[in-house]
Every structure is written in structure tokens, then in C-alpha cells.
Amino acid sequence: MNNIFLEKYNIDRVNRNKLNKHKSFVIWFTGLSGSGKSTIANIVERELYKLKVSTFILDGDNIRHGLNKDLNFSIESRKENIRRIGEVSKLFIDAGLVTLATFVSPIIKDRESVKNLVGAKNFFEIYIKTSLNKCEERDTKGLYKKARLGEIKNMTGITSPYEAPIKPDLEIDTEVMDKYASAKKVLNFIKSKL
């Protein structure tokens, strides 16, 4: 870009990681709505806080109330939603944080673009595997019911596809494990990367 230059600062990610006494990276939770991504991330963050790990949760719904409130759920808007979150994740990694990103992020290519943006060594994909039937049974936000009634268009799993990860860094089946066992498994994974 013309007339735009990257500013170099004295304090960088390496300095922040030393100060925090841990590495920074993004844990990317993906799965259908109602699979348990946000619930698990909240438990994990609480436990990391006890360990004095600097964290931040980027949640799909919360982000759409602010930064991405101008986006709808079309394929193009979903792609842009994930692109923006990738950029925010990159900033948070540079800030020295363990970032917990909870996004349906249904398209493999979009998740791969975030991985490429932040760097493969900074991106860990966690697949919260839960069947559509189980997510519909939970229907914590009432979205599946509305989608089945035709009130919501482009509902992932109903009228819009979900591409499950092929080789996630970690897979959690919330039909087999409860939220606490799931969070413990994620926490142990994160601790191995700090």
C-alpha cells in the first residue's frame, strides 16, 4: 500500500512472552452452534487465570455485536468475519495473550487462512465434535428451531454446510465427555504449549 508503513516498536511479542512467562498463540475452537465451544472456553479461561496465564476469549456472538455487526451470514460475510478475527487474533498473539477463539467457522479454507495469517506454530485447532441431532436437542439459543421454521437462513448444519476439520490438533466429543472433562482435556493441551 502506498504511503502506509509498518511501525517498529521497542517492545515486541518476545518481550511480552518473557514478561508473562508463557508463550502466546490462538486456540481456535470450531464446531456447530450448541456444541459447547464457548462453555468449554469459559471454563478453560478460568483455570488459566488461576495459573496466571494472560488470556482473552474472542466469541462469535460477542464479536458480531461490535466489530462485525455490519456482517450478515452470507458466505462472503462469514469469510470476512473469520478474516477479521484472524487479524485480531494476530494482534492478540503479538500482545502476548493466549487467545481462545470460539467460532463456528464452518469452512476449512477460512480456518486455514487464519492459520496462514498467524503462522502454523501459533494456531491450534480444536474440533468440538457434536452431532447435529445433539446440537438441535440442546438448541441453547433457539436457533435450530428458528432455522427449521424458515426464520433463519444460512444456518450452519441445516441450510449451510459445516466442514469438519480433517486433522485438528485436538478433538473433543461433547456427546461422550461433559463440559468439565472436555475443558480439562483442552487445558492439558494448552499447558503443553505454554
* pLDDT > 70? residue 1: no
Q: SS in 3 state form for 81-147?
A: HHHHHHHHHHHHHHCCCEEEEECCCCCHHHHHHHHHHHCHHHEEEEEEECCHHHHHHHCCCCHHHHH
Say what the pLDDT of residue 2 is: 79
Q: Is residue 5 part of a domain?
A: no
The answer to whether position 138 is within a domain reads no
Active-site residue (options: 105, 131, 182, 192):
105
Looking up residue 52, the CATH number of its domain turns out to be: 3.40.50.300
CA distances from 2 to 5, 19, 39, 154 (A): 8, 35, 44, 38
The predicted-structure confidence for 115-151, as pLDDT tens digits, reads as follows: 999 999 999 999 999 999 999 999 888 989 988 988 9
pLDDT at 5 over 90: no
Is the pLDDT at 93 greater than 70? The verdict is yes
For residue 140, the model assigns a pLDDT of 85
Mean pLDDT across 37-54: 98
The whole-angstrom separation of Cα 37 and Cα 41 is 6
Which residues share a beta bridge with 65? none
pLDDT at 82 over 80: yes
What is the reported pTM?
0.93
Answer whether residue 59 shows pLDDT above 70: yes
In a domain, 61, yes or no: yes
Whole-number mean pLDDT of the chain?
94
> Which residue range(s) make up the domain with 73?
22-130+162-187
* 144 φ, ψ (degrees, to nearest 5): -65, -40
Residue 89 lies in a domain: yes
Other residues' Cβ atoms within 10 Å of the Cβ of residue 159: 13
Q: Is residue 192 part of a domain?
A: no
113 noted as active-site residue: no
Q: Residue 43 pLDDT > 70, yes or no?
A: yes
Region 95-120 average pLDDT: 97
